[in-house]
Amino acid sequence: MKRCGDMLGLQGLRLPPAGFLLLLPFLLLLLLPAAPAPHRASYKPVIVVHGLFDSSYSFRHLLEYINETHPGTAVTVLDLFDGRESLRPLWEQVQGFREAVAPIMAKAPQGVHLICYSQGGLVCRALLSVMDEHNVDSFISLSSPQMGQYGDTDYLKWLFPTSMRSNLYRICYSPWGQEFSICNYWHDPHHDDLYLNASSFLALINGERDHPNATAWRKNFLRVGRLVLIGGPDDGVITPWQSSFFGFYDANETVLEMEEQLVYLRDSFGLKTLLARGAIVRCPMAGISHTAWHSNRTLYETCMEPWLS
């Protein structure tokens, strides 16, 4: 009688031991290509723009915080118009920063975030107005005089030692004065007509004075995904401090909040539209002086980190 192996034509062949057959499925798994590692969504690049008399070195703590909470984020602290060069006319600075941010945006189709401090917040708002194809997701305005500045500060006393805020309009609202960045956003509530006629920067980006680009600038500004406004009552430089939130003095030096400002009521550059779509975040914080906003860890975690997607 033939054995089963002979009947199947396997005579003369040495069969593998039973233990090997049990391991065979696992060995086959080793030969399969490895599954790709799970892909973690990358963070959008962050661009940082400094303020008056600043440089990129001032933001070393902020850079550290971003690297800790969002590892792998590409952060660029733009090193332009440092120190006294920050007194250059703001439109000149806008052009320089535009040339620097355009290539970064072009390489980030998913969008970028802007963190812009003090005077830099006005530079960035102008960038959002003049750049037709910007792709800014979050624009974080860090203690920036968005509705202008009207206060005696150490910066002013150094720059114009013989002038007080009550008579600085005589300098700032002249062609010579408009060659200084700080005069580009000097906003004297007692001389509103002079401000509207002489301001070569703030009155234009606010849409307070007619100009041929107003409609296009408003459309460009509204491309922003989110506007985050940060400031506080202990700032000590931005005057009034509510300017960081688009509030400002009336002729009696009573502060009117953003919703009471004509630029909001007329929606002249898009504030009202942004608020209606829930795209404005206001983050006031007490106890922080002007030069400490970008180094305060609690402020970063509360008001900035949540919006750096």
Q: What pLDDT sits at residue 55?
A: 84
Q: Any catalytic annotation for residue 132?
A: no
pLDDT tens, residue by residue, 2-57: 454 454 444 554 555 555 555 555 555 555 555 544 444 689 999 999 999 988 88
**Cα gap 271→116, rounded to integer Å:** 18
Q: Is 104 helix (H, G, I), strand (E, B) or coil?
A: helix
Q: Any catalytic annotation for residue 188?
A: no
Point out which residues pair with 281 in neighbouring strands: 228
Q: What pLDDT sits at residue 196?
A: 97
**Cα gap 300→185, rounded to integer Å:** 26
pLDDT tens, residue by residue, 42-95: 899 999 999 999 888 899 999 999 999 999 999 999 999 999 999 999 999 999
Q: What are the residues whose beta carbons fall under 8 Å from the beta carbon of 120, sequence distance 6 or more?
A: 49, 50, 51, 54, 144
Computed over every residue of the chain, the mean pLDDT equals 89
pLDDT tens, residue by residue, 245-291: 999 999 999 999 999 999 999 999 999 999 999 999 999 999 999 99
Q: Is the peptide bond before 71 cis (omega within 30 degrees of 0)?
A: no
**What is the pairing mode between strands 255-256 and 248-249?**
antiparallel
Please tell me which residue in 50, 134, 290, 294 is annotated as part of the active site. Answer: 290
Quick one: what percent of the chain has pLDDT higher than 70? 83
Range of lowest pLDDT (129-133, 155-159, 184-188, 279-283): 155-159
DSSP label at 149? B
pLDDT higher than 60, residue 309: yes
Q: What pLDDT sits at residue 2?
A: 47
Q: Any catalytic annotation for residue 39?
A: no
Please tell me which residue in 58, 86, 118, 244 is annotated as part of the active site. Answer: 118
Name the pLDDT band for 162 (thresholds 50, 70, 90).
low
- pTM (two decimals): 0.85
Q: What pLDDT sits at residue 132?
A: 96
Name the pLDDT band for 151 (thresholds 50, 70, 90).
confident
Q: What pLDDT sits at residue 18?
A: 56
**Cα gap 264→4, rounded to integer Å:** 93
Please tell me which residue in 235, 243, 244, 268 is annotated as part of the active site. Answer: 235
**Cα gap 104→111, rounded to integer Å:** 10
